[in-house]
Chains A and B, each alone.
Chain A
Amino acid sequence: MKLLAAATLSLLATTSAFAATHPVEAGPDAQERLQIALIEAAPGDTVEIGAGRFELTDGLSLDVDNVTVRGAGPNVSILDFTNQQGAGEGLMVTSDDVTLRDFAVENSRGDGIKSKEADRIVYHNLRVEWTNGPSPDNGAYGIYPVESTHVLVDGTTVIGASDAGIYVGQSQQIVVRNNIVRFNVAGIEIENSYVADVHSNIATENTGGILVFDLPNLMQMGGHSVRVFRNFVHNNNTDNFAPEGNIVAGVPAGTGIMVMANRDVEIFENILSDNASINIMAVAYTQEFDDENYDPTPRNVIISDNIQGRAGYAPDFEGGAQLATALGGSLPPIMWDGVGGRIVINEETPAITLGLTEAGQSRTEAQPQPYAMRADVTDNRLDAVTLPESMESRLR
Chain B
Amino acid sequence: MIRALIAFLGWFALAGLNDVPPVNGALIADEGYPQRLSEFRFFLDDYAQTPNARVHSYALNTPLFSDYAAKQRWVYVPEGQQALYNDDGTFDFPVGSAFIKSFGYPADFRDPDGEIRLIETRVLLRREEGWVALPYVWNEDGSDAVLRRAGRRMPVSWIDEAGETQQVSYRVPNQNQCKSCHQMNGEIELIGPNARNLNNGTRLAQWVDWSILDRAPENAPRVPVWDDPADGTLDERARAYLDVNCAHCHRRESGASNSGLFLTYDEDDPVARGIRKRPVAAGRGSGGFDFSIAPGRPGESILLHRMISSDPGVQMPELGREIIHREGVALIRAYIAAMEPQG
List residues of chain A with CB within 8 A of the CB of B257: 147, 219
Stretch at the interface among A10-18, A162-170, A298-306, A332-340: A162-170
Q: How far is the CB of B317 from chain A (nearest CB, A)?
A: 9
Q: Tell me whether B284 and A243 are in contact (CB under 8 A).
A: yes
Closest to A135 in B: B284
Residue in B169, B174, B288 whose beta carbon sits within 8 Å of that of A245 in the complex = B288
Chain A 85-118, CB-CB to B under 8 Å as 1, else 0, gives 1111000101000000000000011110000110
Q: What is the predominant secondary structure among interface residues of chain B facing chain A?
A: loop
Q: Would you call A357 an interface residue if the criterion is a C-beta within 8 Å of the partner chain's C-beta atoms? A: no
Q: Tell me whether A61 and B318 are in contact (CB under 8 A).
A: no
A57 to B171 CA separation, bound complex (whole angstroms): 10
Closest to B179 in A: A63
List residues of chain A with CB within 8 A of the CB of B322: 85-86
Q: How far is the CB of A140 from chain B (nearest CB, A)?
A: 2
Stretch at the interface among B34-42, B144-152, B203-211: B144-152
Q: Would you call B272 an interface residue if the criterion is a C-beta within 8 Å of the partner chain's C-beta atoms? A: yes
Residue in A59, A144, A287 whose beta carbon sits within 8 Å of that of B278 in the complex = A287
Q: Tell me whether B260 and A218 are in contact (CB under 8 A).
A: yes
Q: Tell me whether A88 and B312 are in contact (CB under 8 A).
A: yes
Known contacts A32-B150, A61-B180, A147-B258; A88 and B284 CB within 8 A of each other? no
Q: Tell me whether B313 and A109 are in contact (CB under 8 A).
A: yes
Closest to B288 in A: A244
Q: Tell me whether A162 and B151 are in contact (CB under 8 A).
A: no
Q: Which residues in chain A, 206-235, are within 8 Å of chain B measured between CB atoms?
A: 215, 217-219
Known contacts A169-B258, A219-B258, A291-B271; A244 and B281 CB within 8 A of each other? no
Closest to A117 in B: B186
Q: Tell me whether B176 and A62 are in contact (CB under 8 A).
A: yes
List residues of chain B with CB within 8 A of the CB of A137: 284
Chain B 266-303, CB-CB to A under 8 Å as 1, else 0, gives 00001110001111111111111111000000000010
List residues of chain B with CB within 8 A of the CB of A147: 257-258
A141 to B283 CA separation, bound complex (whole angstroms): 8
Q: Would you call B252 an interface residue if the criterion is a C-beta within 8 Å of the partner chain's C-beta atoms? A: yes
Q: Would you call A35 an interface residue if the criterion is a C-beta within 8 Å of the partner chain's C-beta atoms? A: yes
Q: Tell me whether B174 and A116 are in contact (CB under 8 A).
A: no
Q: Tell me whether B281 and A140 are in contact (CB under 8 A).
A: yes
Q: Would you call A36 an interface residue if the criterion is a C-beta within 8 Å of the partner chain's C-beta atoms? A: yes
Residue in B149, B276, B343 whose beta carbon sits within 8 Å of that of A39 in the complex = B149
List residues of chain B with CB within 8 A of the CB of A287: 278
Q: Would you call B84 an interface residue if the criterion is a C-beta within 8 Å of the partner chain's C-beta atoms? A: no
Q: Would you call B153 an interface residue if the criterion is a C-beta within 8 Å of the partner chain's C-beta atoms? A: yes
Q: Tell me whether B153 and A88 are in contact (CB under 8 A).
A: no
List residues of chain B with CB within 8 A of the CB of A169: 258, 280-281
List residues of chain A with CB within 8 A of the CB of B284: 136-140, 162, 243
Q: Tell me whether A87 and B258 are in contact (CB under 8 A).
A: no
Q: Would you call A146 an interface residue if the criterion is a C-beta within 8 Å of the partner chain's C-beta atoms? A: yes
A59 to B312 CA separation, bound complex (whole angstroms): 9
Closest to B259 in A: A218
List residues of chain A with CB within 8 A of the CB of B280: 169, 215, 218, 247
Q: Would you call A246 an interface residue if the criterion is a C-beta within 8 Å of the partner chain's C-beta atoms? A: yes
Closest to B321 in A: A86
A244 to B287 CA separation, bound complex (whole angstroms): 7
Q: Which residues in chain B, 39-76, are within 8 Å of chain A measured between CB atoms?
A: none
Q: Would you call A66 an interface residue if the criterion is a C-beta within 8 Å of the partner chain's C-beta atoms? A: no
Q: Tell me whether B174 and A35 are in contact (CB under 8 A).
A: yes
Closest to A34 in B: B150
Q: Tell me whether B289 and A58 are in contact (CB under 8 A).
A: no
List residues of chain B with CB within 8 A of the CB of A244: 286, 288-290
Residue in B252, B260, B283, B318 whose beta carbon sits within 8 Å of that of A217 in the complex = B260
Q: Tell me whether B312 and A109 are in contact (CB under 8 A).
A: yes
Q: Tell me whether B318 and A88 are in contact (CB under 8 A).
A: yes
Known contacts A61-B176, A217-B271; A110 and B289 CB within 8 A of each other? no
Q: Tell me whether A111 and B283 are in contact (CB under 8 A).
A: yes
Q: Tell me whether A246 and B286 are in contact (CB under 8 A).
A: yes
A243 to B169 CA separation, bound complex (whole angstroms): 28
Residue in B149, B180, B277, B286 whose beta carbon sits within 8 Å of that of A243 in the complex = B286
List residues of chain A with CB within 8 A of the CB of B171: 58, 85-86
A35 to B283 CA separation, bound complex (whole angstroms): 26
Q: How far is the CB of B177 from chain A (nearest CB, A)?
A: 7
Known contacts A163-B283, A246-B279; A39 and B290 CB within 8 A of each other? no
Known contacts A245-B279, A245-B286, A245-B289; A139 and B153 CB within 8 A of each other? no
List residues of chain A with CB within 8 A of the CB of B180: 61, 92, 94
Q: Would you call B200 an interface residue if the criterion is a C-beta within 8 Å of the partner chain's C-beta atoms? A: no
Q: Would you call A31 an interface residue if the criterion is a C-beta within 8 Å of the partner chain's C-beta atoms? A: yes
List residues of chain B with CB within 8 A of the CB of A88: 312-313, 318
List residues of chain B with CB within 8 A of the CB of A243: 282-288
Closest to A108 in B: B313
Q: Tell me whether A140 and B283 are in contact (CB under 8 A).
A: yes
Q: How far is the CB of B251 from chain A (nearest CB, A)?
A: 11
Q: Tell me whether A219 and B252 are in contact (CB under 8 A).
A: yes
Chain A 126-168, CB-CB to B under 8 Å as 1, else 0, gives 0000000000111111001011000000000000001100010
List residues of chain A with CB within 8 A of the CB of B281: 140-141, 144, 146, 163, 167, 169
Q: Would you call B175 an interface residue if the criterion is a C-beta within 8 Å of the partner chain's C-beta atoms? A: yes
Q: Would you call B311 an interface residue if the criterion is a C-beta within 8 Å of the partner chain's C-beta atoms? A: yes
Q: Tell me whether B312 and A245 are in contact (CB under 8 A).
A: no
Q: How far is the CB of B125 from chain A (nearest CB, A)?
A: 16
List residues of chain B with CB within 8 A of the CB of A87: 177, 312, 318-319
Q: Tell me whether B153 and A57 are in contact (CB under 8 A).
A: yes
Q: Would you call A290 an interface residue if the criterion is a C-beta within 8 Å of the partner chain's C-beta atoms? A: yes
A116 to B284 CA separation, bound complex (whole angstroms): 20
Q: Tell me whether B258 and A39 are in contact (CB under 8 A).
A: no
Q: Would you call B106 an interface residue if the criterion is a C-beta within 8 Å of the partner chain's C-beta atoms? A: no
Q: How far is the CB of B33 from chain A (nearest CB, A)?
A: 10
A162 to B258 CA separation, bound complex (whole angstroms): 19
Q: Would you call A84 an interface residue if the criterion is a C-beta within 8 Å of the partner chain's C-beta atoms? A: yes
Q: Would you call B25 an interface residue if the criterion is a C-beta within 8 Å of the partner chain's C-beta atoms? A: no
Q: Tell me whether A246 and B186 are in contact (CB under 8 A).
A: no
Closest to A169 in B: B258
A94 to B174 CA separation, bound complex (whole angstroms): 14
Q: Tell me whether A139 and B258 are in contact (CB under 8 A).
A: no
A244 to B286 CA separation, bound complex (whole angstroms): 7
A223 to B313 CA separation, bound complex (whole angstroms): 28
Binding site for A on B (CB under 8 A): 148-153, 169, 171, 174-177, 179-180, 186, 252, 255, 257-258, 260, 270-272, 276-291, 302, 311-314, 318-319, 322, 343
Between A and B, 10 residue pairs with Cβ closer than 8 Å are A33-B150, A39-B149, A58-B171, A85-B153, A85-B171, A110-B285, A147-B258, A169-B280, A215-B280, A243-B282
Which 9 A-B residue pairs are closest in the complex by CB-CB distance? A140-B283, A245-B286, A35-B150, A109-B313, A88-B318, A244-B288, A61-B176, A110-B313, A109-B312
